[in-house]
Amino acid sequence: MSVMPMKRVMICALKKDRKAVLELLQRQGVVQVENPQCDAADPVFIQTDKSAEAAMFRKYAQSAGEALAVLNHAAPQKKGLLSSLEGRRRLSVEEFDGLVLKRDEILTNCRAILSLDRERIENEASAPKISSQIIALEPWLNYDLPLNCKGTKTTAVMTGTLPNEWQLDAILAKLNELAPDAGDVHVEIISTSQIQTCIFTVCEQKDAADVADAMRRMGFIKAPETDVNPAEETKRLKESLEKLRKRNASLNEKLCGFADRRSEIEFLVDYFSMRAEKYEVLGTLPQSPRTFVLEGFIPAVQADDLKELLEARFDISVELADPQPGDDVPVLLKNNAFSRPVETVVESYSMPGPGEIDPSSLVAIFYYVLFGIMLSDAAYGLIMTILCGLLVRKYKNMEPGTKGLLELFFYCGISTTVFGLLFGSFFGDSVNIIATTFFNRPDIAQPALWMAPLNNPMKMLTFCFAIGILHLFVGLGAKFYMLWKDHKYLDAIYDVVFWYMLVGGCIVVLLTVPMFTNMLTIKNTLPAPVGKVAGIIAGIGAVGIILTGGRDSRNWVKRILKGLYAVYGISGYLSDILSYSRLLALGLATGVIATVFNKMGSMIGGNFFGAIVFLVVFLIGHALNMAINILGSYVHTNRLTFVEFFGKFYSGGGRKFQPFAVHTKYYKIKEEMKS
Amino acid sequence: MNLGIVFALAGATLSALTSGIGSARGVGIAGQAAAGVCTDDPEKFSKVLILQLLPGTQGIYGLLIGFITMTQIGVMGGSSDISFIKGLLYLAACLPVIFVEPLSAIQQAKASIASIGLVAKRPDQFGKAMIFPAMVETYAILALLVSILAVFGVSALSL
């Protein structure tokens, strides 16, 4: 229910125990290491730069990760839909040590995998090149000389293509026209198509330049060069293509052969990430020739245990102290099972800053209620509750983040069910639609235990505003508590009590106005004297705010002006309260869209075919509606929490406690240590 | 001939029509940004998907008003005898949704795209990234609320 108290820990130990101490601390994962920068002139303690080593280990971890990706691509692992919920596998210290001894072998395997993959990629890249060569040779298949044949001592041979379709006579005529001085030229057409004509030309060497020039002007392009004739070259190319294909198949097979090494490679990723983190910490340690020092923060409850553990095992000095005021102490939240799930919500806003309370338990109650009002369908709530409950029970080893989210939706589901029953919604109006369509009993309907929002929108709106006012006032109350706790009694009165008086007074005054209560469908208008009293209270509040709102200014004129501006903040309260109308809007959205789908499904009628259509529309429609409205409710519950609620008292700005620990992806090293 | 039902139905269908267009465009442009992020890091799919979907709710609000109006004016069954003035009033009741939803969907999509960029660079800031587009949605919700109350209010009138 609170921010965990922290202790400062300072460890001084012998350098020979450095590795063991660090590894123990890493496995315990309770200390956030924060060593101050050593003074460069310090004659005894220096920090050694270990960033090169750390970077090297990160690189190893990365190449192991790449090898793993290659392996997963070549030999995909069969994974269930919910395998991501299983969490990291456990590894005993013995297994861990065994695998550490094999690390070089595993790393060699990783490199082998990567080089096999590189070759595979190169082969894959060269295959299309060969294919295009084969295609380029296709028009030349009838030609029986090597394509790079230049002729003989006295004759010149030119093979190539002319654009468009040419007849033999036309080519000869054109050549004659463009090179009138040349002697006999022999031209043969190898193949023609609409876009090109492949020709073979022979002329005397002395005319070669003239003929070549003429042909160039006709758009002649040389044929691709081959040492053998095109048919043979094509055969050769096809063979090498086949060879590449076979080679890749065998490469793939070799890659698949590593599939049973997958878990080892996963270990290697974890191992090197761990070592990298250790070296990053090591680089910050002030070290003398024989000793080293480590400073950091530790949750107070674990401090004594760690001290005992360390002192029993090493010649070591462990000093614990309370943090000094002004220390930037990292924040760790601790809550009971009911409010723990919203810790992630609080964290995604900001951790509590110095002097602030952990708002989780306050957030939790309203979070579940607001979510429930927005989704407000008993069936959707039941599905969420049962699904999340089962998953959390089944997968005990789940990662804390995933578990938190599922638990959040578990509680939200319960609240959704409750509000769904209160508002009489079970898959929208499905009970009534099914009874009417298939059993001809339009009198059967899901009763609303309280009211159906669609029939009483104003009443529902009033309820939403009431919830909003309560939410805001609780937020203000939290501010009062924090100020009071800090012995800022006057501030508590100025900033909270006056606002309670002003806002609360105004609300009560409004409740005495019949026009207003009629609009909000509140049956009992408060009697006028109550309004008078409330008005006076609101007035006192307003005057109080005018006098104190600008109390940081000495100048009284300035102070009153600032105070007047502060009173203007009442408009902020108005918009905050109106913002809770989204509870009604989103609640109606769920119900109405569910109704739309029910109606669509029942349009065919009550026969057998109609039942099938109804079932299909029902399943798809409600799955869609549920997904989109859970998303909407989640987003807007967060918004109401962050903007309206936190706006009243919580600004955050704390640092999250991030201990030096085993941060792995695939394995969890068991906590018990060998002694 | 009584034109009341014509105006009333025009209000209902225009609500769904303009909101649908706005949301389609909003979700579309946000989807392009989301797909771009996924080319680099497919693991962020679920996060950017949520951000992409945020401008989609306006289309649903339009559907909601369209549907409520249609049930109130008897197009979905019942009597569709609406007076001329009442038909115009239904159309007026739909106006906030007709105009605010499509514009807010597109503006929200722009905020969503910016938030998708934020998540791409700092995935841990997802909670905050979600709030920026959600701010825009407030106005879509307020328009929806006024339309809901107005439609119910009009149907209670005897004109």
DSSP A145: S
DSSP B55: G
Say yes or no: A589 contacts chain B, CB-CB below 8 A.
yes
Strands A667-669 and A89-91, by their bridges, are parallel
* Tens digits of residue pLDDT in A423-443: 999 999 999 999 998 898 888
Which tokens is B155 given?
């149907």
**Cα gap B12→A672, rounded to integer Å:** 66
As a residue count, chain B comes to: 159
**Cα gap A597→A539, rounded to integer Å:** 52
Q: Is the pLDDT score of A672 beyond 60?
A: no
| Segments in A395-512 forming alpha helices (H) | 400-422, 430-439, 457-485, 489-492, 498-511
From the list A143, A207, A196, A201, the residue with the least C-alpha distance to A172 is: A201
Kindly list the distances between the CA atom of residue A673 and the CA atoms of A26, A87, A267, A381, A659, in Å, as whole numbers in the listed order.
Answer: 12, 21, 19, 44, 18
pLDDT interval class at A392 (50, 70, 90): very high
Question: Is the backbone of residue A392 left (phi > 0), alpha (psi -120 to 50) or beta?
Answer: alpha
- The arithmetic mean of pLDDT across residues A493-509, rounded, is 94
What is the distance in angstroms between the CA of the first residue and the CA of the last residue of chain B?
17
Q: Taking all residues of chain B, what is their mean pLDDT, rounded to a whole number?
A: 91
Sort A563 into a burial class: Cβ within 10 Å, 0-12 / 13-18 / 19+.
buried
In B, which residues are within 8 Å of A584 by CB distance?
145, 148
Q: Is the pLDDT score of A348 beyond 60?
A: yes
Q: Is the pLDDT score of A262 beyond 80?
A: yes
* Tens digits of residue pLDDT in A287-320: 888 999 999 999 999 999 999 999 999 999 999 9
For chain B, what is the domain count? Answer: 1
Kindly list the distances between the CA atom of residue A502 and the CA atoms of A401, A408, A573, in Å, as whole numbers in the listed order.
Answer: 42, 35, 10
* CATH number assigned to the domain comprising residue B125: 1.20.120.610
Tell me if ipTM is over 0.95. Answer: no
Q: Is the CB of B56 less than 8 angstroms away from the CB of A628?
A: yes
Sheet holding A196-204, edge to edge: A185-192, A196-204, A155-163, A221-222
Among all chains, which residue has been given the structure tokens 């280990």? A57
* Tens digits of residue pLDDT in A110-160: 999 999 999 999 998 998 999 998 988 888 888 888 888 888 888 888 888
Choose from B57, B97, B119, B135 for mutation: most chain A CBs within 10 A: B57
Strands A6-14 and A291-299, by their bridges, are antiparallel
Say yes or no: A44 contacts chain B, CB-CB below 8 A.
no
- Work out the percent of chain A whose per-residue pLDDT is above 90: 47
CB B12 within 8 A of CB B92: no
CA A366, distance to chain mean position in Å, is: 25
In this structure, of A457-461, A475-479, B93-97, the range with the lowest mean pLDDT score is A457-461
At residue B155, the pLDDT reads 87
- The arithmetic mean of pLDDT across residues B87-98, rounded, is 96
Q: Is the pLDDT score of A418 beyond 50?
A: yes
From chain B residues 52-71, the ones with a CB under 8 A of any chain A CB are: 53-54, 56-57, 60-61, 63-64, 67-68
From chain B residues 120-159, the ones with a CB under 8 A of any chain A CB are: 125-128, 130-131, 134-135, 137-138, 141-142, 144-145, 148-149, 152
Which tokens is A537 given?
């209270």
* Tens digits of residue pLDDT in A145-157: 888 888 888 888 8
In this structure, of A221-235, A332-346, B19-33, the range with the lowest mean pLDDT score is A221-235
**Cα gap A43→A288, rounded to integer Å:** 9
Which tokens is A100 given?
């550490």
Q: Taking all residues of chain A, what is their mean pLDDT, rounded to a whole number?
A: 89
User: How many cross-chain Cβ pairs, A to B, lie less than 8 Å apart?
Assistant: 72
At residue A612, the pLDDT reads 93
Q: Which helix (H) or strand (E) holds A572?
A: helix A570-579
**Cα gap B2→A63, rounded to integer Å:** 76
* Tens digits of residue pLDDT in A441-466: 888 888 899 999 988 888 999 999 99
pLDDT interval class at A670 (50, 70, 90): low
What is the DSSP code string of A179-221? Answer: -TT---EEEEEEEE-SSEEEEEEEEEGGGHHHHHHHHHHTT-E
**Cα gap A464→A584, rounded to integer Å:** 7
**Cα gap B39→B53, rounded to integer Å:** 18
Q: Is the pLDDT score of A671 beyond 70?
A: no
**Cα gap A102→B137, rounded to integer Å:** 56
* Tens digits of residue pLDDT in A163-183: 888 888 888 888 888 888 777
* Tens digits of residue pLDDT in B45-85: 888 988 998 998 899 899 889 988 998 898 877 777 889 99
**Cα gap B113→B29, rounded to integer Å:** 8
* Tens digits of residue pLDDT in A2-31: 889 999 999 999 999 998 999 889 888 899
Q: Which helix (H) or strand (E) holds A3?
A: strand A2-3
Say yes or no: A504 contacts chain B, CB-CB below 8 A.
no
At residue A674, the pLDDT reads 40
* Tens digits of residue pLDDT in A277-286: 899 888 888 8
| Segments in B41-125 forming alpha helices (H) | 45-53, 57-73, 84-121
Query: B29 lies in which domain range?
Result: 4-156
* Tens digits of residue pLDDT in A560-587: 999 999 998 888 898 899 899 999 989 9
Of B60, B137, B142, the CB nearest to A593: B60
* Tens digits of residue pLDDT in B114-145: 999 999 999 888 888 988 998 998 899 899 98
**Cα gap A624→A426, rounded to integer Å:** 15
Q: Is the pLDDT score of A416 beyond 50?
A: yes
In this structure, of A142-151, A342-351, A372-381, A439-448, the range with the lowest mean pLDDT score is A142-151
As a residue count, chain A comes to: 675
Identify the structural domains of chain A with CATH numbers, from first to last.
Answer: 148-223 (3.30.70.2750), 360-435+457-649 (no CATH)
- The arithmetic mean of pLDDT across residues A84-103, rounded, is 83
Which tokens is B38 given?
């996924």
**Cα gap A51→A518, rounded to integer Å:** 72
User: Where would I find the beta strands (DSSP E) of A550-670?
Assistant: 667-669
Quick one: closest CA in B to A644, which residue?
Answer: B135
* pTM for the structure as a whole: 0.83
At residue A673, the pLDDT reads 43
What is the distance in angstroms between the CA of the first residue and the CA of the last residue of chain A?
35
At residue A1, the pLDDT reads 54
From the list A536, A537, A564, A535, the residue with the least C-alpha distance to A548 is: A564
Which tokens is A593 given?
């869209």
**Cα gap A360→A345, rounded to integer Å:** 9
Q: Is the CB of B131 less than 8 angstroms away from the CB of A457?
A: no
Which tokens is B48 given?
């950017």
**One-letter amino acid of A667:** Y
From chain A residues 621-660, the ones with a CB under 8 A of any chain B CB are: 628, 631-632, 635-636, 638-639, 642-643
3-class SS shares of chain A: helix, strand, coil, % to 5: 60, 10, 25
What is the DSSP code string of A595-629? Answer: HHHHHHHTTS-SSHHHHHHHHHHHHHHHHHHHHHH
At residue A642, the pLDDT reads 92
From the list A474, A454, A451, A458, the residue with the least C-alpha distance to A576 is: A474
**Residues A19-58: b if buried by 16+ CB within 10 A, e if exposed:** eebbebbbbbebbbbebeebeeeeeebebeebeebbeebb
Choose from A347, A588, A590, A630 for mutation: most chain B CBs within 10 A: A588
